[in-house]
């Protein structure tokens, strides 16, 4: 082949600097039948990075359940999962990470994470209707953590609010393990008519290839490689790897693209995310079993004299690649001109599987598309794994080693103000949650966000969940709990869980103990998904969340879950409704405080196994709760999670402006009963008139239940005959804790 005169042949040393292993360099030479030049090696370096190829994870990802009666595409087939929700509609949804960029430049890192995940949704033809996020930071005692939190929240709000999609739900956790490596996971949910979806494919020799959206700059170059290495002291020097977002440009791109889809003028379309033009040209070509000729000098750029590899690897935001049907070029141009969005032809589809990149008429790189992509020629590894020494040590913990406090009210107040439990209103007040007016969560709080569909009588229930401490102490159990907790939240709204997307955040896969965590978390997730019949639609793997100083973060397999609420009458909220309503606990209590916020924060004990969990019991409980909800027997439902039964009751009381009077079970330690986090438990309320019917139905369904007490008009909290004080005292602690810290007043 002829090569660009400025393109030297690559060496194994250059390959190493680009993140490729020596054996991978040799494999590239075999594929090409020659030594690659620098541009070609750059292309392989990003496409074979962990971020793009999943080379260290795909073997185990393939073990997850990826088929289901509602799935319209299997995991990995398209940019996002696609679920049939009835009435001719489908839901596209996906979660992805933007961890490393957010650690270096929190505002733009988080903002472009939001923008990127929304593009994955609307390039499939779906209009984004909801945004969620899952965030992890270090201790709030750290000025760095507070700086990162402010920047990330500002970035999410700044992009999402301007783009016009409501942020409806999320979670924020704090632990010292995230001090160097914060986690920023963004999820988007969109709606599309099932017969109007767009595929990320390319075919038809001679068909035109267009780049649309923003001009290409030097921001984000080697961003995929940057995401596939550990954070170090030198990472700040890689600030150009962080992309810069423009939500207003993305809004124009969205509206133009959805209008374009109505014309039925395109063959395929893909967002330019990680690896930019390289990824979109290669993946679309490989899927369509064709090639492309791309003229890089025709790509609109923001800087002069950009080199071929810079144009190819740039991750500038708000860009997409489109393959146009024959004779429809003018139609495409007219739509994007109308919306004042750049639309430029940069190449055409070719026969065969070669991607040829030209610069001013000279061939600068020639690579087989199939050799670059996941599921094609990209390498696949099965790394060594080893059970960590701490695992068996943590299994030895006994509740008998912990003395029960004399003043349990003090514990309750303390827990209510803990950052992992307390209200996150300082965060969510910076987000627009009401744009579109279909978020039912604002006025009707429930365990998952509920979004009304304007073209159907159905609603969607969505949530994100993962208690990473549980996963750290027992990856199999913890990942299964993450799936079940998400499903339990969906069920408590009255919706049926139908599918998940996941964002798998782990340390360095070359660390055998980290890889052991990953392998066992995948097994736990898979078993839970199979049991609950919630297949995996796709997601993201983020390795290398680790530093030499602080070690790996807690393994954090974040679960984004979708549920379908068939009828508005089934929508169930968590708030107490009326004086005299009866409070019941569904599920079995345990003498268990393992890995609870109570054990970790009050007793400073971090070495315990995960909380009690039974997958069989969980599935049985969820099925029973959903049945009772649909039969109209419940006034409220709220699952027990962080903080245990007491925090559950407190949240329902605060949401309803009512108090409660309950009695604990003398068969269990009072602290375990109130603050333990044993799984598979839900608190419900009923009217006195419903009592007989409720107890009969719960018994018939085989659901363990126990009457706890009553909702009270006076707002005092009474437990075992002792008045713990007014609701307002706990409300103040719960609702002001985080904002007091962030506004510099005091630590709890």
Catalytic residue annotation? 51, 98
Bridge-based pairing of strands 546-547 and 551-552 is antiparallel
Residues with Cβ within 8 Å of 468's Cβ and at least 6 positions away in sequence, in order, are 136, 173, 175, 478, 553, 554, 555, 556
- How many Å apart are CA 677 and CA 589, to the nearest integer? 9
- How many Å apart are CA 422 and CA 196, to the nearest integer? 43
Long-range contacts of 597-601 (CB under 8 A, 24+ apart): 597/415, 597/418, 597/420, 597/421, 597/642, 597/643, 597/675, 597/677, 598/411, 598/415, 598/643, 598/644, 598/671, 598/675, 598/676, 598/677, 599/402, 600/469, 601/414, 601/415, 601/418, 601/420
- How many Å apart are CA 375 and CA 370, to the nearest integer? 8
End-to-end CA distance of the chain: 67
- How many Å apart are CA 719 and CA 731, to the nearest integer? 17
- How many Å apart are CA 131 and CA 189, to the nearest integer? 6
Closest CA to 247 of 142, 308, 160: 160
Residues with Cβ within 8 Å of 231's Cβ and at least 6 positions away in sequence, in order, are 100, 103, 104, 180, 181, 544, 545, 546, 547
- How many Å apart are CA 508 and CA 506, to the nearest integer? 7
- How many Å apart are CA 363 and CA 379, to the nearest integer? 26
HSE (side-chain half, CA atoms, 13 Å) at 275: 24
Extract the tokens encoding 109. Answer: 């890192």
- Given a contact cutoff of 8 angstroms between Cβ atoms, the answer to whether 499 and 561 are in contact is yes
* Tokens 């020629």, located at residue: 377
- How many Å apart are CA 451 and CA 498, to the nearest integer? 15
- How many Å apart are CA 222 and CA 225, to the nearest integer? 5
- Given a contact cutoff of 8 angstroms between Cβ atoms, the answer to whether 350 and 205 are in contact is yes
The DSSP output letter for 600 is: I
* Tokens 């898979």, located at residue: 526
- Given a contact cutoff of 8 angstroms between Cβ atoms, the answer to whether 231 and 553 are in contact is no
Which residues are 354's β-sheet partners? 368
Residues with Cβ within 8 Å of 746's Cβ and at least 6 positions away in sequence, in order, are 740
- How many Å apart are CA 24 and CA 16, to the nearest integer? 10
* Tokens 């029973």, located at residue: 624
Backbone angles phi, psi at 344, to 5 degrees: -130, 135
- How many Å apart are CA 502 and CA 55, to the nearest integer? 17
The DSSP output letter for 37 is: B
Cα distances from 136 to residues 146, 182, 414, in angstroms, run: 12, 5, 21
Closest CA to 640 of 615, 612, 605: 612
- Given a contact cutoff of 8 angstroms between Cβ atoms, the answer to whether 294 and 356 are in contact is yes
């Amino acid at each position: 082949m002829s090569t660009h005169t400025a393109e030297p042949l690559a060496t194994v040393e250059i390959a190493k600097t680009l993140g490729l292993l020596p054996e991978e360099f040799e494999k590239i030479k075999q594929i090409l039948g020659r030594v690659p030049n620098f541009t070609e090696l750059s292309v392989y370096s990003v496409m074979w990075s962990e971020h793009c190829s999943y080379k260290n994870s795909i073997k185990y990802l393939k073990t997850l359940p990826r088929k289901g009666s509602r799935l319209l595409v299997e995991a990995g087939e398209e940019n996002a999962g696609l679920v049939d929700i009835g009435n001719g509609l489908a839901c596209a949804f996906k979660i992805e990470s933007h961890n490393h960029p957010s650690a270096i430049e929190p505002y733009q890192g988080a903002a472009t994470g939001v923008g990127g995940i929304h593009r994955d949704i609307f390039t499939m033809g779906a209009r984004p209707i909801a945004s969620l996020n899952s965030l992890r930071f270090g201790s709030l005692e750290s000025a760095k953590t507070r700086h990162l939190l402010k920047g990330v929240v500002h970035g999410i709000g700044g992009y999402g609010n301007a783009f016009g999609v409501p942020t409806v739900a999320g979670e924020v956790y704090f632990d010292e393990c995230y001090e160097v490596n914060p986690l920023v996971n963004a999820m988007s949910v969109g709606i599309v008519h099932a017969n109007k979806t767009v595929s990320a494919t390319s075919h038809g020799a001679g068909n035109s290839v267009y780049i649309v959206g923003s001009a290409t700059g030097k921001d984000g170059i080697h961003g995929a490689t940057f995401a596939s290495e550990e954070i170090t002291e030198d990472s700040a020097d890689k600030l150009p790897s962080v992309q810069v977002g423009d939500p207003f440009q993305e809004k124009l791109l969205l509206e133009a693209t959805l209008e374009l889809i109505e014309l039925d003028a395109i063959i395929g379309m893909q967002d330019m995310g990680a690896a930019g033009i390289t990824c979109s040209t290669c993946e679309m070509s490989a899927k369509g079993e064709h090639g492309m000729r791309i003229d890089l000098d025709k790509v609109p750029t923001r800087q002069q004299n950009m080199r071929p590899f810079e144009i190819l690897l740039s991750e500038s935001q708000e860009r997409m690649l489109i393959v146009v049907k024959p004779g429809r070029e003018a139609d495409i141009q007219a739509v994007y001109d109308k919306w004042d969005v750049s639309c430029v032809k940069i190449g055409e589809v070719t026969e065969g599987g070669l991607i040829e990149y030209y610069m001013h008429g000279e061939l600068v790189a020639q690579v087989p598309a199939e050799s670059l992509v996941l599921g094609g020629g990209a390498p696949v590894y099965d790394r060594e794994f080893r059970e960590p020494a701490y695992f068996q040590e943590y299994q030895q913990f006994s509740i008998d080693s912990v003395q029960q406090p004399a003043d349990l009210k003090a514990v309750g107040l303390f827990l209510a103000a803990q950052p992992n439990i307390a209200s996150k209103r300082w965060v969510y007040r910076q987000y627009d949650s009401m744009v579109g007016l279909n978020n039912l969560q604002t006025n009707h709080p429930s365990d998952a966000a509920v979004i009304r569909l304007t073209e159907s009588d159905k609603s969607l229930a969505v949530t994100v969940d993962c208690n990473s401490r549980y996963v750290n102490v027992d990856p199999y159990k913890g990942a299964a709990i993450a799936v079940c907790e998400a499903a339990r939240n969906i069920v408590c709204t009255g919706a049926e869980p139908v599918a998940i997307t996941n964002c798998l955040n782990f340390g360095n896969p070359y660390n055998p103990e980290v890889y052991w965590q990953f392998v066992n978390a995948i097994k736990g997730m898979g078993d839970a998904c199979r049991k609950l019949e919630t297949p995996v639609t796709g997601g993201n793997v983020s390795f290398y969340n680790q530093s030499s100083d602080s070690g790996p973060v807690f393994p954090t397999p974040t679960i984004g879950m979708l549920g379908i609420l068939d009828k508005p009458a089934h929508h169930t909220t968590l708030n107490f409704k009326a004086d005299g309503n009866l409070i019941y606990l569904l599920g079995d209590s345990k003498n268990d405080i393992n890995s609870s916020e109570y054990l970790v924060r009050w007793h400073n004990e971090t070495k315990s196994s995960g909380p009690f969990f039974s997958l069989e019991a969980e599935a049985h409980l969820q099925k029973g709760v959903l049945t009772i909800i649909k039969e109209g027997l419940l006034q409220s439902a709220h699952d027990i999670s962080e903080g245990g039964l007491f925090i559950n009751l407190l949240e329902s009381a605060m949401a309803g402006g009512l108090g409660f009077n309950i009695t604990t079970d003398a068969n269990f330690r009072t602290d375990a009963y109130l603050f333990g986090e044993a799984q598979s438990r839900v608190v419900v309320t009923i009217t006195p008139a419903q009592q007989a019917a409720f107890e009969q139905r719960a018994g018939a369904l085989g659901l363990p239940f126990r009457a706890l007490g009553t909702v009270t008009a006076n707002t005092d909290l009474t437990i075992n005959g002792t008045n713990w004080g007014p609701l307002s005292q706990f409300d103040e602690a719960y609702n002001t804790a985080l904002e007091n810290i962030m506004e510099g007043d005091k630590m709890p």
